[in-house]
C-alpha cells in the first residue's frame, strides 16, 4: 500500500480528508513530529515513514493581517518551511503536492488560467508564491492554486465588491486523490462570484462589507480563476 504524508493535517481540511475512502495509507504528523521550519526534522520524519507522496498543506494563512505584521513568521513557515519540504522530498524522490493559493494572481481581471502571469498583492499570497518558486524547481511535483473555504462560511462579514472562485472543502475532498499523480499547476475552485453572494447561500446572517473598509491588507478585487483544466481532468476520470 502506498503512503501519503499530510503536513498541516491537524487543521480543518485534514479532519475532512480522514473521512474520505481511499487506497492509500495516510499519515498526519503533528508539528512536534514534523516541524516544516526545521530541515533536520523533515529529513528524519521522511526517512522514518518512507512515503510515496507528501501533500504539503502546513502554512500560516489567517488572519491575513498577520503576514503584514509578522513577516518573519510568514517567511519562516510559508517560504522556508516549504523549501525544507522540497529539499526533503527531492532527496528521497517523493512526489510533492503543494497547496498554494489563487491569490497569487494579480486579482484585477479575474478568470485567471494556470499559464497567466502571477503578481500577488498581499503578503500572504507573496508567501505562497515564494513556496511555489521552491516547489517548481522540483520536477516531481504538483502545485494546486486553491480557492477553498469552510462550510458554512465562517466569517461574520463578506465582501460585496470582490470576486473569487470559492469552493467548499467538503467538495474538494473527493477530488484531491484523483489529482496526486498529475504534475505542473492546476487551479482549484468553483464559480466566479462575489464573496458575499457565495457566503449568503449557506450563511444567511452574513453582513455586507466593501473593499474600502478593508484597511489591513490589499485585498484583490477579482481573483477568480479559470478551472477548465480541472474540469477536463475530472471528466476523463
Q: What is the pLDDT of residues 139-172, one digit of tens each?
A: 999 999 999 999 989 899 999 999 999 999 999 9
Q: Report the number of distinct structural domains present in the chain.
A: 1
CA distance 6 to 118: 26
Which residues span the domain enclosing 35? 3-236
pLDDT at residue 113 greater than cutoff 80: yes
Bridge partners, 193 (sequence order): 164
Tell if the pTM clears 0.85, that is, is over it: yes
- CATH number at 135 reads 3.40.50.720
Per residue in 19-62, pLDDT (tens digit) is 999 999 999 999 999 999 999 999 999 999 999 999 999 999 88
Q: Is the peptide bond before 76 cis (omega within 30 degrees of 0)?
A: no
Could you read off the pLDDT of 189-235 as tens digits, one per residue? 999 999 999 999 999 999 999 999 988 888 999 999 999 999 999 98
Find all residues with CB under 8 Å of 154, minimum gap 6, and list them: none
- Residues 163-186 have pLDDT tens digits of 999 999 999 998 999 999 999 999
Measured CA to CA in angstroms, residue 175 lies from 34, 134, 185, 202 at distances of 26, 25, 15, 22
Amino acid at each position: 500500500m502506498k503512503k501519503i504524508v499530510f503536513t498541516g493535517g491537524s487543521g480543518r481540511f485534514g479532519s475532512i480528508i480522514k473521512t474520505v475512502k481511499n487506497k492509500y495509507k495516510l499519515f498526519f504528523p503533528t508539528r512536534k513530529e514534523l516541524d516544516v521550519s526545521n530541515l533536520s526534522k523533515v529529513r528524519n520524519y521522511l526517512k522514518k515513514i518512507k512515503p510515496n507522496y507528501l501533500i504539503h498543506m502546513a502554512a500560516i494563512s489567517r488572519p491575513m493581517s498577520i503576514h503584514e505584521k509578522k513577516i518573519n513568521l510568514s517567511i519562516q513557515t510559508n517560504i522556508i518551511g516549504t523549501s525544507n519540504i522540497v529539499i526533503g522530498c527531492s532527496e528521497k524522490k517523493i512526489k510533492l503536492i503543494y497547496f498554494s493559493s489563487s491569490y497569487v494572481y494579480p486579482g484585477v481581471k479575474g478568470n485567471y488560467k494556470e499559464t497567466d502571469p502571477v503578481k500577488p498583492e498581499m503578503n500572504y499570497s507573496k508567501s505562497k508564491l515564494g513556496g511555489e518558486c521552491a516547489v517548481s524547481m522540483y520536477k516531481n511535483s504538483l502545485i494546486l492554486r486553491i480557492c477553498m473555504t469552510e462550510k458554512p462560511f465562517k466569517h461574520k462579514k463578506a465582501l460585496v465588491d470582490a470576486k473569487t472562485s470559492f469552493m467548499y472543502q467538503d467538495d474538494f475532498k473527493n477530488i484531491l486523490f484523483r489529482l496526486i499523480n498529475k504534475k505542473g499547476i492546476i487551479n482549484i475552485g468553483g464559480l466566479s462570484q462575489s464573496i458575499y453572494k457565495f457566503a449568503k447561500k449557506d450563511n444567511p446572517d452574513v453582513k455586507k462589507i466593501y473593499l474600502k473598509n478593508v484597511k489591513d491588507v490589499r485585498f484583490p478585487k477579482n481573483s477568480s480563476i479559470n478551472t477548465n483544466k480541472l474540469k477536463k481532468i475530472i471528466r476523463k476520470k
